[in-house]
Amino acid sequence: MRVAGCDPGTSSLDILALDGGRVVAQVRIEPDELRADPTLPVRWLREHGPFDLIAGPSGYGLPLVRAADCTDAQLDLMSLVRPDERGAKGVAGFSATVRALRDSGLPVVFLPGVIHLPTVPAHRKLNRVDLGTADKLCVAALALAQHNREEPALVAEFGSAFTALVVLKDKQIVDGIGGTCGMLGGMSGGAWDGEAAYLLSPLAKADLFRGGIADIAGAEVAKAAFRESFTKAVYGLLNVHGVQDIYYGGTLFRTHSEFTREALGELPTSFFRLHYAGDLPGAWVKHAAQGAALLADGLAGGTYAPLVDWLKLREATGTALDWLTHPRAADVRKWFA
């Protein structure tokens, strides 16, 4: 079984190939390269194939949609950009890459986000769009595959822009806090104060990538804010779910390892234990690409098929916009119809 998994992160697009569950190839494509040529991932995959299945870059996620069946409206649901911004720099780059993969003829499937999963109760989805994007789900899958525990666990993914937390119980994802709903990130300011959003409006997609560590003056202030926002989010989930073990990973730990280790090294860990999520043997690409490859292997009926069954990926449904209750939500959904 030869498969591949992609992670369309802010800092790079990473791809990992597995053959028989073993790492056989991997690549990192930088943002500037991708903007110059959105077909680079397609070319790399063709050179290293043929593949039985490829988990493509999925953004906010789709309920296991094969690329050949993916409509333009579904492509827009993966990026969730207002019609007035769909040609914006950065946004257009992701969309062009996904479109190239959609039109490539390769056996690509787009993965769900946390909000699409049937294992997350409806009350946790209300007025939420991002409980963890598809790449965060992939990191949780990697942690589950590496540690295979029945006990409740929290997976923390420190991306280059956003930080997300995903809760595992009985080998299922039952809760999550996405980047703009939760804690401070490398670029994102985390959960928005509604008054701040109102005063700064009209907001652009790019504004979701501002206000984080990179925009805070003073390293000590940034460390304190990063540490406390993480602690508040973790303790909230710990109180609800009884989590004791936290598995962490992500680009921020690799690119700003001294900052993050100093900030989190002072955590009051008397009520939980921190563990590194771990890498697949021989893998150096981002954890999300590793997890995506494992899910591709499982979906194709390979070694990691139980992982797909535990997470109930085949039962994913709906869109990321289904749970909005605001009176104007219907107008928003029309943008993606």
- Can you tell me the mean pLDDT for 210-232? 91
- Report pLDDT for 30: 92
- Report pLDDT for 251: 82
pTM of the entire predicted model:
0.94
Residue type, 119: T
- Report pLDDT for 88: 65
Among the listed ranges 168-172, 203-207, 254-258, which one has the minimum average pLDDT value?
254-258
Cβ atoms of 322 and 330 within 8 Å: the answer is: no
- Report pLDDT for 270: 63
- Report pLDDT for 56: 97
**Residue given tokens 């590496």 in the structure block:** 146
Segment 273-330, tens digit of pLDDT:
888 888 999 999 999 999 999 999 999 999 999 999 999 999 999 999 999 999 999 9
Instruction: Tell me the sheet residues that pair with 108.
Output: 54
- Report pLDDT for 303: 95
Could you tell me the residue range of the domain that residue 77 belongs to? 2-334
Mean pLDDT of the chain: 92
260 confidence band (pLDDT: 50, 70, 90):
confident
91 confidence band (pLDDT: 50, 70, 90):
low
- Report pLDDT for 330: 97
- Report pLDDT for 90: 55
**Per-residue pLDDT at 62 exceeds 60:** yes
Q: What percent of the chain has pLDDT over 70?
A: 96
Q: How many of the other CB atoms lie within 10 Å of CB of 112?
A: 28
Cα–Cα distance, 44 to 26 (Å, whole number): 10
**Per-residue pLDDT at 271 exceeds 80:** no
**Per-residue pLDDT at 95 exceeds 90:** no
- Report pLDDT for 150: 77
Cα–Cα distance, 240 to 248 (Å, whole number): 19
Task: Count the residues in the chain.
Answer: 337
Q: What percent of the chain has pLDDT over 90?
A: 75
The CATH code of the domain that includes 329 is 3.30.420.40
**Per-residue pLDDT at 266 exceeds 70:** no
**Per-residue pLDDT at 253 exceeds 80:** no
9 confidence band (pLDDT: 50, 70, 90):
confident
- Can you tell me the mean pLDDT for 75-90? 86
**Residue given tokens 């909230």 in the structure block:** 236
254 confidence band (pLDDT: 50, 70, 90):
confident
Domain total in the chain: 1
- Report pLDDT for 277: 85
269 confidence band (pLDDT: 50, 70, 90):
low
- Report pLDDT for 189: 95
